[in-house]
Amino acid sequence: MKYPNDIMSKVLYTEDQIILKAKELAERINADYDGKPLTIVCTLKGATFFFADLMKYININCNIEFIKASSYVGNTTMTIGNVQISNVMNFVIENRDILIVEDIVDTGLTCDKLFEYFRKHNCASVNVCTLLDKPSRRQVGIIPKYCGYEIEDEFVIGYGLDYNESYRNIPCVGIINKKYI
């Protein structure tokens, strides 16, 4: 069954715009981390699309890793404060510069937990590169070092972002039509 044509009430960013933004952010990352022991960490599942775009333009030596960080549960659009993290035990953190790649920073609780975890395991530094930032919803003092777009407090889907696990594979970011919530 195809997604309804009106699943988005508004398209915010097209694939072309996002790819250009990924290139722009990658150029900054290349300059900032050149010569450093960089590990770029993709958070599953939402960040995978943006991560793939970003990585095509990263041209410095780095490791890539994947972790699962979950805050939204089931068919709710609210964040659950109890963030779950998995797969972080399987790679070297000590003395590495960690760059977390996110699709969205919302309350900031996921990043906050991840920052805490990486710092506890003696990373050299930890920062975040996010496609989208919703600063109006922040509950903790996380400021993404690299940010594609700041957005209003709307529920967005597409380009990795889901509603109840659907719509991740829509090739643009847009606001979900409220009639489907």
Interface map 26-65 toward ligand PRP (x if CB under 6 A): -----------------xxxxx------------------
Pick the stretch among 88-96, 104-112, 117-125, 150-158 that binds ligand PRP (CB under 6 A). Answer: 104-112
Site for ligand PRP (CB under 6 A): which residue of 33, 51, 62, 108? 108
Closest separation in Å from C-beta 88 to ligand PRP = 14
- Contact yes or no for 102/41 (Cβ under 8 A): no
Report the C-alpha gap between 47 and 69 in whole angstroms: 10
Q: Are strands 172-176 and 8-14 parallel, antiparallel or unpaired?
A: antiparallel
Site for ligand PRP (CB under 6 A): which residue of 103, 115, 159, 173? 103
108: left (phi over 0), alpha (psi -120 to 50) or beta: left
Residues 121-150 that bind ligand PRP (CB under 6 A): none
Count of residues that interact with ligand PRP, criterion CB under 6 A: 20
- Contact yes or no for 104/46 (Cβ under 8 A): yes
The one-character DSSP state at 18 is H
The strands making up 156-157's β-sheet, listed across from edge to edge, are 8-14, 172-176, 156-157
Closest separation in Å from C-beta 150 to ligand PRP = 14
The yes-or-no answer on residue 106 being catalytic is: yes
Annotated catalytic residues are: 106
Binding interface with ligand PRP (CB under 6 A): 43-47, 69-72, 79, 102-110, 162
